[in-house]
Structure formats: C-alpha cells, structure tokens
C-alpha cells in the first residue's frame, strides 16, 4: 500500500520529499468557494512523477442537494476538476457523498446524485467518500452507501466510479463502526465494490458524534488499535493507497505517515489500480 498526505498545492513534489510520502492528494482549486481550478504549470512534472493519487473536489460540491443551482454548480465543478486531475496524472477525484440539503428523502438524494453524475465524462475515476454528518446523507450509514452505489452502478455513466473510505468519517458518522472497526471496513468494501482510496484520520470526537473533525493519529478518540485494524483490513482487501488529512504542523504529517507505514505490509510496493 502506498502512503502519503494531503499536500499544499504550491509544491507537492517538495512536500512529498519532506514528509517521506509515496503519493499526495491535491486540492486543485480553493476548497471552500466555487472557483474553477487554474491549469497547473507543473502538470507534466506531476504526471511524469506519478505522484498524485487523488485530487479532492471542493467541499461545496453536493450532488444530493435539493437546490438545482447547487447541483448545476456541482456538476460543473466536478467536470473541470476531473479535467485538470487528468492533466496532473491523478488516479481519481474524491467527492463527499453529500446530503439532501434543502429537503427531500434519501431516495431523492440518490436520484439527484444520478442527475449530477450522468453528464460527467472522464477517464479519471470519481471516488465517492463516506461522510460523518446529516440525517439524509447517502454516505453516512452502510445501508444508504450500498443504495447509492447500487443506483449509480445501474446507470451507464461515462466516468469510472470508485469509493474512498475515511476512518474519521466512519467513526463519527456511524456508531456501528466502533463496535467492529475491521468488520465495518469490510462491509463498506462489500457495499461499494471495493476501496480505491483510504483516508486515515483520527477523530476529535466520540463514536457516532456526527462531526467531521480530523486530528493526528493517536491524538483523538479513536485509539491506535482501531485505526490499525481499519488500515490493515483495507490493505488486505486491496486498497492501493492511504492518505492522511491531518494537521501538518510540528512534523504531524511525517509522524502520521511513519505510523501508517508501520502498519502496512507492503508499503510503497502496491500497484495502483
């Protein structure tokens, strides 16, 4: 399993060297505003380095939203991010599964997701990430995650579909995770058809809190035994890469990557699918 971190956009290659990362995840545009990514002048270098395992879509993207304007902006944002991700050699674009903001049922949320996904076209995979909050969030609980992926895989999409599993989101989003962390990862992989990317983050909050607050490995409420069980299970099930999205200050990323690497059997040797 390849291991790495969410990198500052300015110089991902330097960041990877500094923290001893095999791969990095990038934000190609400002994550909290609707703004198209600029074409990176280092795109060829990143592609040749085979460094970018994923790009993360802006957090404002919500394919399940009741607001047609938000869904339209989400579709555009995902498409331009997929396009720029392809230039940089990224294997996938991560997007949160969202929630039915503005009203509607879980069925409505899934139908809106299909509406947003249909126009997308790319050879880069769209990686749907589980989420920690929202009563009508199709990425929070296993049964709804299975429903979302089942519905999307039943549609003839022009973009590859994959899954990103976030340890903090699972812990804080679904109380079932704390009762059997390894089993929960396996159940997620079964619901989605596999884990294409692993986000490894500790949680500042207790299990089932419904809050998405990352912290460095071993400094939160999850416990290193829980995190290790999740990582080793995901690796056994074929997850090709793991990214930490934790605070980088005071050597945080380097320490987290070293800990993550100590748990993986074949660090840096797995082939990305």
Calculate mean pLDDT across residues 108-136. Answer: 97
Give the model's confidence band at 246: pLDDT under 50 very low, under 70 low, under 90 confident, else very high. Answer: very high
Check which CATH number belongs to the domain holding 82 and give it.
3.20.20.150
Domain assignment present for residue 271? The answer is no
Tokens of 162: 């994959």
Mean pLDDT of the chain: 95
- Residues 171-180 have pLDDT tens digits of 999 999 999 9
Q: Do the domain assignments include residue 73?
A: yes
Q: Answer whether 0.85 is exceeded by the pTM.
A: yes
Structural domain includes residue 181:
yes
Domain count, the chain: 1
Asked whether residue 49 is assigned to any structural domain, the reply reads yes
pLDDT of residue 266: 53
CB 6 within 8 A of CB 260: no
Range of the domain at 232: 7-263
| Tokens encoding 71 | 């869904």
272 part of a folded domain: no
pLDDT at 153: 97
- Which helix (H) or strand (E) segment holds residue 11: the answer is none
Neighbours of 149 (CB within 10 A): 23
Q: Is residue 187 part of a domain?
A: yes
For residue 273, tell me if it sits in a domain.
no
CA quadruple 209, 210, 211, 215: dihedral, nearest 10? 60
| DSSP H stretches of helix in the chain | 12-19, 43-49, 68-87, 106-117, 142-153, 167-173, 176-179, 181-192, 224-236, 252-263
pLDDT at 8 over 80: yes
Place of tokens 């903090």: 168
pLDDT band for position 270 (cuts 50, 70, 90): very low
pLDDT of residue 12: 96
Predicted confidence (pLDDT) at residue 268 exceeds the cutoff of 50? no
């Amino acid at each position: 399993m390849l291991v790495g971190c969410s990198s500052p956009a300015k110089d991902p290659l330097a960041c990877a060297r500094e923290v001893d990362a095999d791969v990095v995840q990038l934000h190609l545009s400002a994550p909290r505003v609707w703004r198209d990514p600029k074409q990176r002048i280092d795109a060829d270098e990143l592609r040749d380095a085979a460094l970018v395992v994923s790009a993360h879509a802006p957090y404002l993207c919500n394919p399940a939203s009741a607001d047609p304007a938000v869904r339209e902006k989400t579709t555009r944002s995902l498409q331009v991010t997929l396009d720029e991700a392809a230039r940089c050699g990224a294997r996938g674009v991560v997007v949160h599964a969202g929630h039915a903001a503005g009203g509607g049922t879980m069925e409505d949320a899934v139908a809106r997701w299909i509406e947003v996904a249909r126009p997308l076209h790319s050879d880069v995979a769209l990686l749907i990430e589980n989420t920690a909050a929202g009563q009508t969030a199709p990425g929070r609980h296993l049964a709804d995650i299975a429903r979302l992926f089942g519905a999307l895989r039943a549609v003839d999409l022009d973009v590859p579909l994959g899954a990103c599993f976030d340890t903090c989101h699972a812990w804080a989003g679904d109380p079932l995770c704390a009762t059997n962390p390894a089993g929960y990862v396996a159940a997620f992989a079964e619901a989605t058809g596999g884990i294409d990317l692993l986000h490894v983050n500790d949680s500042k909050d207790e299990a089932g809190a419904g809050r998405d607050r990352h912290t460095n490995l071993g400094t939160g409420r999850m416990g290193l035994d829980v995190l290790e069980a999740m990582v080793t299970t995901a690796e056994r099930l074929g997850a090709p890469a793991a990214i930490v999205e934790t605070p980088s200050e005071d050597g945080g990323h380097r320490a987290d990557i070293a800990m993550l690497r100590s748990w993986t059997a074949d660090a840096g040797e797995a082939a990305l699918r």
